[in-house]
Structure 1
């Protein structure tokens, strides 16, 4: 991975802009995960000998980009985990679909069940078995030809939630063949980006908002650069 982009850093937390295609945490592939690159950064920046503590707070899917936060202390890890559990963290995602949503904005409720053997989520219209209630708000931000930029604000944090709920809306995310887009992106990414996370700092109790821009090298994301602010 080239060039770690640090978005926020203090003694308790560090947030980076995860590139699409990079794992947050190691898996059976053996590919080097984002957390190891962050540890290297901390070692080099602070000249730390030995092992570096780094707690994983949340995970973005491998083909997704955007804000990813790690804890630098066990206290911060415990408190951030609780904030996520209590839904005290406001998440904003940007997605690009070839389909314009109808209606242009709305609130989606589905019941999501994850098949861990197939790494696939099913979204049902009604409660079913162990499926968990999943909610999000969405709105169309901009449209250029066949490219539609949709802002998504999940209220829950289910596996693959944004991907499967937009697919159920009829707006599969560009490149996401797992959930119905017809063709993959050449690099294996999908056009889903965690734009921002907002929360109360777990130790300082101050408001924090962390924002990440999409990849400027991606020609489709670049179409919407005026939206980045």
Structure 2
């Protein structure tokens, strides 16, 4: 039994059955509780399930992957521990497809290609940097990109992640000389305070943890600047 609808006025349900819940995360909501104490996706969705299904006591919902707080778009959550275990294994084995849309400053030299770097995270500052291969505790980061459209000094990219490192897309593109529009952390020399980062999870694909059928969760960026610069038909805008 699949259901679609609204988990709240802002959180759109993309797919739901007894095992998984796919939603489109609004921007500026943490994936899970953090030090700010602001409402987070995991808590909001648990409360929504509790109310919609009139469930007493605690509701189980497993966090399978994360999106950075300023990033919106498709996410999947597990409604049972078995689903959580199987989806987590899909993430570990890279058997999950993650595509993002991004608006960057400038135009890459190649219209498509792969970025492969080694990243190091500083937990004290919550920042990530590119470091030489072989650096202790560094992790390899790989992504493919394709330029969909260029306009007014910006480029719209479709990005496929092969690894899921913290801040990976933001760091790798900034290191390549093309920071994301609105990225205050990794593109501050280009961005202005108040700008919203232009990074959106447009697709999450994975084998259903029970039926094994392929599930594709799709979410489109909002029709606001800088997304509205582009007319590419690969991405259908939402309101």
Counterpart in the other structure of 2:28: 21
The number of equivalent residue pairs is 227
Counterpart in the other structure of 1:168: 175
Pick one of 102, 107, 114 that aligns with 2:109: 102
Higher helix share: 1
Distance 2:36 2:112 in 1: 38
Q: How high is the TM-score relative to the length of structure 1? A: 0.94
Pick one of 130, 140, 151 that aligns with 1:144: 151
Distance 1:204 1:185 in 2: 46
Q: How high is the TM-score relative to the length of structure 2? A: 0.90
Query: For structure 2, which runs of at least 5 residues remain unmatched after alignment?
Result: 1-7
Counterpart in the other structure of 1:59: 66
Distance 2:134 2:111 in 1: 25
Instruction: Answer whether contact 1:94 1:152 (CA < 8 A) is retained.
Output: yes
Instruction: Answer whether contact 2:114 2:142 (CA < 8 A) is retained.
Output: yes
Distance 2:163 2:225 in 1: 31
Which consecutive segments of 4 or more residues in structure 1 shift more than 6 A?
none
Distance 1:4 1:94 in 2: 19
Distance 2:184 2:11 in 1: 28
Distance 2:117 2:151 in 1: 29
Pick one of 116, 122, 143 that aligns with 1:115: 122
Distance 1:171 1:104 in 2: 13
| Superposed CA RMSD | 1.6
Does residue 224 of the first structure (1) align with residue 230 of the second (2)? yes
Counterpart in the other structure of 2:15: 8
Query: 1:2: Cα distance to partner?
Result: 4.1
Pick one of 59, 80, 83 that aligns with 2:90: 83
Secondary structure in structure 2 of the residue aligned to 1:178? coil
Instruction: Answer whether contact 2:10 2:26 (CA < 8 A) is retained.
Output: no
Instruction: Answer whether contact 2:149 2:232 (CA < 8 A) is retained.
Output: no
